[in-house]
Amino acid sequence: MNKVNLHLTALFLLLLISACSEDTNAPVSEIPNYVHMKCDIDGIAWESDSTIFRCSIDGPTLSLYGSKTQLSHAIAIYVRNFSPDVLNYELGDSRYGNYAEYTADGGIVFSTSLTDDNAKGNIEIIEYTDTYIKGRFSITPMDNESGNILQIKNGTFYYIF
């Protein structure tokens, strides 16, 4: 085999390998069984274990749950009266509708509130189809006992049904 053929063969193999690599920019709908929830909690990157991320739509309620471990570092978001036609939801108190919680080590629960302007949140649905849901969230939950507040920002989630 001469040098030109050898170079062409090597170039072809490189092109083939790069074409077969995972496309991280592919739309969520093209990534089979892809589930994900991530955000920054007080400036520290947090990402759910994909085996502990769940999403369900039960009647009019959208529920998202992601956890870093089985027992703590969990984020739960609940949207009552979910509708594919509504893209933004304010998160407040569980007694009145949409809300979010973060469970820290030791079972300490931080939650959003309608009565405290410092403990709010928002969830935005970016895409919703019969096969997947994709969105963003930001939450400022508060520990009701200590008054401590967390900043949960840049949250994203993807779930393929």
The confidence score (pLDDT) of residue 36 equals 85
The burial of 159, by beta-carbon neighbours within 10 Å (0-12 exposed, 13-18 middle, 19 or more buried), is given as buried
**Confidence at 89, pLDDT banded by 50, 70, 90:** very high
77 vs 5, higher pLDDT: 77
Q: Higher pLDDT residue, 107 or 27? A: 107
Residue 30, pLDDT score: 55
How many CB atoms sit inside 10 A of residue 53's CB? 20
Say which DSSP state 25 is in. Answer: T
Is the predicted pLDDT of residue 108 greater than 60, yes or no?
yes
- Report the candidate in 91, 44, 52 with the shortest Cα–Cα distance to residue 69: 52
Residue 19: predicted pLDDT? 35
Burial state string for 57-89 with b = 16 or more CB within 10 A and e = fewer than 16: eeeeebebbbbbeeeebbbbbbbeebeeeeeeb
- Looking at residue 82, its amino acid is F
- pTM of this structure: 0.77
Asked whether residue 102 carries a pLDDT value surpassing 80, the answer given is yes
The pLDDT confidence band at residue 71, using thresholds 50, 70 and 90, is low
Domain boundaries, the chain: 52-161
Question: What confidence category does residue 124 fall into, taking pLDDT thresholds of 50, 70 and 90?
Answer: very high
- Identity of the residue numbered 150: L
109 within 8 A of 146, measured Cβ to Cβ: no
Average pLDDT, the chain: 80
Task: Determine how many CB atoms are found less than 10 A away from the CB of residue 139.
Answer: 26
Alpha helices, H only, the chain? 3-20
Residue 3 pLDDT > 80: no
Any idea which of 9-23, 45-59, 75-89 has the lowest mean pLDDT? 9-23
